[in-house]
Amino acid sequence: MELEALPDEVVAEIEVRDRWRRGMANGGLEFIFTDIAKWPVGSTVRVAFLDGNDQLHADIAGATKQIADVCNLTLDFGQADGNGSFRRWTTADTTYAAEIRVSFDLSGFFSLVGTDSTDRMIGAGGGQVGGNPGQRSLNLGRFVTNRPVQWEGTVRHEFLHALAFHHSHQNMRGTCEGEFRWEDQAGYVPTQNAAGVFVADAQGRQPGIYTFLAGEPNRWSRAKVDHNLRTVNDPDLTLGPFDRLSVMLYRFPDFFYKSAPSSCAPAGNGQNLSEGDKRGLELLYPHTESALADRQARAEAVLQSLGAGPEGLPEANGGGLAEAYRSRVAELAAAQAAAVR
């Protein structure tokens, strides 16, 4: 079982950026962590493909229709009137062909979250993944040659990330933190199969999550396990109720849980958006004028809270980090104001 994960260097850059965000805003922090990750309500978010053929592109676009049908946002794949080829991007691009840049050539599945897809600070030092025009923001590995059985659910999961959703198992309102079996069963003797995967030992004792994910094909450190699986108990994040039917909840092997059936295990088919997913999309990208007006008010509050960035952090877009985010929030506030009018 290979779990989705961004490259380590990209995660490190995001963590630096997020630590700065926590320290520089007063009162408007909810907007920074929630709204700045969203695309402007009512806007068009372009999608482009690096590789793959028209049929694969059409299938991906079709799988996202469940998302587009719910929220006040347009996913534009660049196909005029439903005919012709879909939009493409290249690694040599210096301007954005699209906000969401899809590839199929790297291993695994992953996506940057929301507007991180166009945050030039992420991947500023180079690399295949990042927020710059010639970098991948969403990857669906093996889709060209060997799609997963439930590939539509995988597409919806990654595109919800691209629209600012996080994993459901990290929701502090859920039970996963206490339900996951982080450590090995008592007496477990590390045992690997021919592929390097940690398996039950001769006595049937199971590895814990830390041990299992340290083996093939993931080879994760404890810190990486914590980043990807531990509960996000952060008051700066807006979280809805824990939803066992959500496509954002991982389907783990049974031995990951302390009990069976586990209250953390998915109850849905992993394919279709749950009612909770749909409510979340409506919250992020509402259709009502009152909700849009509230978004504008919060944006204006954040403009008042932005301060100078700390010394030593990288600069973005030719200016300081704080100024880059001041411009970003102003841009979103203007878009929200236009939507309200």
Task: Summarize pLDDT for 5-18 with one digit per residue, the tens.
Answer: 777 788 777 777 66
Q: How confident is the model at residue 312 (pLDDT cuts 50, 70, 90)?
A: very low
Mean pLDDT of the chain: 79
Question: Which residues, 6 or more positions from 211, have their beta carbon under 8 angstroms from its beta carbon?
Answer: 184, 188, 190, 198
Nearest 10 degrees: Cα torsion 13, 326, 93, 140: 50
Q: What average pLDDT does range 60-77 have in this prediction?
A: 95
Task: Summarize pLDDT for 227-278 with one digit per residue, the tens.
Answer: 777 775 554 454 556 777 888 877 788 888 888 888 777 787 888 998 888 8
Buried b (16+ CB within 10 A) or exposed e, 168-179: bbbbeebbbbeb
- The proportion of the chain whose per-residue pLDDT surpasses 70, expressed as a percent, equals 70
* H-helix segments, 122-218: 151-162, 176-179, 209-214
Q: If we measure between CA atoms, which residue out of 137, 133, 51, 47 comes closest to residue 93? A: 133
Whether omega for the bond prior to residue 217 falls within 30 degrees of 0, making it cis, is yes
Identify the pLDDT of residue 269: 82
Q: How confident is the model at residue 31 (pLDDT cuts 50, 70, 90)?
A: very low
Identify the pLDDT of residue 156: 95
Q: What average pLDDT does range 33-52 have in this prediction?
A: 83
Identify the pLDDT of residue 40: 84
Evaluate if residue 337 carries a pLDDT over 70.
no
Structure tokens at 41: 């309500």
- Top pLDDT among 249 and 48 is at 48
CA 245, 249, 252, 255 dihedral sign is negative
Distance of alpha carbon 98 from the chain centroid: 17
Structure tokens at 112: 């940057």
Minimum mean pLDDT range among 1-5, 119-123, 210-214: 1-5
- The proportion of the chain whose per-residue pLDDT surpasses 90, expressed as a percent, equals 38
Question: Which residues, 6 or more positions from 288, have their beta carbon under 8 angstroms from its beta carbon?
Answer: none
Minimum mean pLDDT range among 174-183, 223-232, 274-283: 223-232
For the entire predicted model, the pTM comes to 0.77
Q: Is 298 left (phi over 0), alpha (psi -120 to 50) or beta?
A: alpha
